[in-house]
Amino acid sequence: MKVYIETYGCWLNKADSQVVASMLKKEGHEVTDDLEEADVVVVNTCAVRLETERKIARRLEELEQWRKRCYGRKVVVIGCLAKARPAFVASVSPSASILGPNAIHLIPKTLRERIIDVGPDRRSVFELPTYDGSSRRLVIPVAVGCLGSCSYCIMPISRGRLSSCQPQKISSLFAEAVSKGVKEVYLVAQDLASYGLDIGTSLPALLRELLKHEGDYMIRLGMMEPSTLSVIARELLDLYPDARMYKYLHLPLQSGSDRILQLMNRRYTSDSFVELVDLFRSRVDVFLATDVIVGFPTETEEDFERTCKVLERISPDKVHVARYALRPFTKAASMPQLSDHVKKERSRVLDFLVKELTLKRNLRYVGKEVEVLLTDIAPKEGLVGRMLDYRPVAVKCDRDMLWKRVTVVIEEAKPHVLLGRMA
């Protein structure tokens, strides 16, 4: 059969979609980019944000109409929303097979029969994607689930507890990809710093094993929770100077107010977060990406101001600002809620501050020559690449330079990207 895959949400979801594609290809099926020629549509869902849930629901309704028009075609809904809200998914897509994220190994069966299985709370069958060299980027889901219980987050319900892939399996895939010329490897998880805690190993141990493989590649680490990163921070920092490691750190702050952090059930304080950032910056000039939630239940103006002050203190390179959205089955859903007006206003203020801070960071590079790995085609012309710290750079050059390392002169800085030309 020909299968079309749509993916919503994070890098871990994207990795799961690659796993699904690999399993289907092993079974002799074809993955297509054309919906109209597909026999089956797989929708990999996200449950983190309310607006994403609504977008997915509209899409599933459209696909239900598509299925009715095209006799014999199937819809399969997988991922976090399928596990967290299976009845809701079934109501908008009544003919679909439904698999939770820890049941995606059953995907080949859904092409033969309708299956509803939201799966266990831990991933007992841990499949990895294959690497055939058709892309120079490989995303490896090294773990799923987490050890936390944040009061606003539905992920403990949708993905369950921490489940790490065996390091030998990861290393084998990594070695094969390096031998076939991979240029970028993303290690992703819900909380990458917790990798291995359930199987007696750790992220630094995994990285030491992977870095034994010689090659012209770059490793990018995914999001890490401050509380779990703090335990391995110094050991991990010893590996950051390696030229094959992007100097990139994705560390979610969520709030600068200790009162709100406690209500969120986050296991760190604003001071310990700042100390962790300072520790990394004392050793490496890292690109710091973070996340902030505005309008969390009971958040006061003083709480919000504390968040702004912490951001000013750490001066991040990238910030994802999200307005708090009520999620079912979470503790925060039963707390006193703030009005949408307050959330929008605080989001507007924070967006303005973030643009100021990130532009200031990027202006340091104007006029300088930097090394860039060209990784993606730009929307209009030229290519987009990454500096050694994963900082994005749009480059005026021929598109046949894709996946080349080049020296670039930075001509202009914007809050989210640098603009340059070949030296």
pLDDT at 311: 98
pLDDT, tens digit, 9 for 90 and up, residues 286-310: 999 999 999 999 999 999 999 999 9
- 268, 239 in Cβ contact below 8 A? no
Q: Which residues pair with 314 in a beta bridge?
A: none
**Angle of CA points 138, 242, 222, to nearest 5°:** 40
User: What pLDDT does 231 receive?
Assistant: 97
**Mean pLDDT across the chain:** 96
What are the structural domains of the chain? 2-117 (3.40.50.12160), 137-363 (3.80.30.20), 369-422 (2.40.50.140)
Nearest one of 55, 45, 61, 57 to 13, comparing CA atoms: 45
For residue 233, what pLDDT is reported? 98
Share of the chain above pLDDT 70, in %: 100
Q: How far is it, in rounded angstroms, from Cα 419 to Cα 117? A: 48
- Spatial CB neighbours of 402, under 8 Å, sequence gap ≥ 6: 374, 375, 376, 377, 383
pLDDT at position 72, please?
A: 80
- Give the residue from 327, 347, 329, 345 showing the smallest Cα distance to 337: 327
Confidence of residue 265 (pLDDT cuts 50, 70, 90): very high
Q: How confident is the model at residue 34 (pLDDT cuts 50, 70, 90)?
A: very high
CA pair distance 330, 409, nearest whole angstrom: 49
* pTM for the structure as a whole: 0.94
Q: Decide if 149 contacts 192 (C-beta within 8 A).
A: no
| Pairing, β 318-323 against β 287-294 | parallel
At residue 68 the predicted structure's pLDDT band, cuts being 50, 70 and 90, is: confident
Q: What pLDDT does 50 receive?
A: 87
Nearest-CA neighbor of 359 among 409, 276, 419? 419
What pLDDT is attached to residue 134? 86
- Residue range 263-282: mean pLDDT, rounded: 98
Name which of 172, 87, 188 is nearest 137 in CA terms: 188
Nearest in space to 417 (alpha carbons), one of 387, 380, 375: 387
Instruction: Give yes or no for a contact between 227 and 266, defined as CB atoms under 8 angstroms apart.
Output: yes
* pLDDT above 80: residue 193: yes
For range 273-277, the mean pLDDT? 98
What's the pLDDT tens digit per position in 80-116? 999 999 999 999 999 999 999 999 999 999 999 999 9
326-379: pLDDT as tens digits: 999 999 999 999 999 999 999 999 999 999 999 999 999 999 999 999 999 998
Check: CB of residue 182 under 8 Å from CB of residue 137: yes
Cα–Cα distance for residue pair 154/159, rounded to 1 Å:
9
Q: Which value, in Å, is the radius of gyration of the alpha carbons in the chain?
A: 22
pLDDT at position 71 over 80: no
Neighbours of 402 (CB within 10 A): 16
**Length of the chain, please?**
423
Strands (E), 172-282: 184-188, 218-221, 248-250
Instruction: Give pLDDT, residue 70.
Output: 80
Mean pLDDT of 190-208: 98
List, for residues 235-261, the tens digit of each pLDDT value: 999 999 999 999 999 999 999 999 999
Tell me, what's the pLDDT at 67?
Answer: 87
User: What confidence tier does 57 reach under pLDDT thresholds 50, 70, 90?
Assistant: very high
The token pair that represents 239 in the structure block: 């590996």
- 383-422 pLDDT, tens per residue? 999 999 999 999 999 999 999 999 999 999 999 999 999 9
Task: Check residue 379 and give its pLDDT.
Answer: 87
Residue 112: predicted pLDDT: 92
In whole angstroms, what separates CA 91 from the centre of its chain?
28
> At residue 321, does pLDDT exceed 90?
yes
Q: What percent of the chain has pLDDT over 90?
A: 95
Question: Which residue type occupies 221?
Answer: L
